Amino acid sequence: MSRQKKIFFLGFLVFTLIVILLTIDMALRTTAPWNRKKGIDRVLPITPDSTKS
């Protein structure tokens, strides 16, 4: 292989590894929608006193 092909291949390999690592990192930090609590329950907690007034 020529020097230019080696440099291109090395750059492609590094770029691919960075994209794979970023994808894994985002996947680990994200919660699946079906594993989340309902959004309205977190924003407006319903207490017994709040419904009386």
Which pLDDT score is estimated for 24? 96
Measured between alpha carbons, how far is residue 29 from residues 7, 40, 42 in Å? Answer: 33, 22, 19
Strand locations in 1-53, DSSP E? none
Q: Which residue has the higher pLDDT, 37 or 10?
A: 10
Answer whether residue 5 shows pLDDT above 70: yes
pLDDT tens-digit map of 8-26: 999 999 999 999 999 999 9
